[in-house]
Amino acid sequence: MPRAKLKRFMENKDLPNVLQDGDETFNNLKGNWNKLHFKNELPLTVEMGCGKGEYTIGLARVFKDRNFIGVDIKGDRLWTGSRQAIDEKLYHVAFLRTLIHNIDGFFAPNEVETIWVTFPDPRPKDRDIKRRLTSPRFLEMYKTILKPEGQVFFKTDSTGLFEYTLEVLKERTDIIDLEYTFDLYTSEYLKDHFEIRTNFEQKYLDLGVPIKYLKFRFKS
């Protein structure tokens, strides 16, 4: 492992806004985020697969009246978001280091108000369908941890993943208020993203790749 990455892994153990295995509260977070970590009663927004936390940080700059949690398994990436949140005094931001398929072990039913899924790995091979973050098994997890009629937002550069996601959502009977566009930056939904662009997103915009976007709620 490169020395710089190892150094970040070690520093994560002492960062107050990174929650990972070995921390005192790690195994008790479910249902207790506001009590054990944030020490407030603000609603929770969770970003699945947050990477370096660019979107989580961006949302936290806009909304001071919410708590934000970025979830990812890559410790070196979370270090970047953690340091930025600390530098900007965004104390309503936290990062959870875990696999997304373990997410229902860290959030209780009805604990989360909104979920963002931003530019996940499209997993184009058929054998990886179950690993797509918008596959039925993940949607069921999101539905469980969301409050009644909680909202999910999804952004991707991948046309294949976007079409797959729409197909999955339209086959379900518990989806309401589904809205979508195949080109966010020429659509009426542009205001929804609060002018937040990750480096990954900007890379594809510079290449002329349209950004796909959708949002929906689960029927209560």
**Catalytic site residues?**
121
From CA 155, how far away is CA 215, in angstroms rounded?
Answer: 9
Residue 172, classified by CB atoms within 10 Å of its CB into exposed (0-12), middle (13-18) or buried (19+), is middle
Rounded to 5°, angle at Cα 172 from 55 and 126: 70
The answer to whether the CB of 12 falls within 8 A of the CB of 20 is: yes
Q: CA separation (Å) from 27 to 22, 31, 181?
A: 9, 11, 39
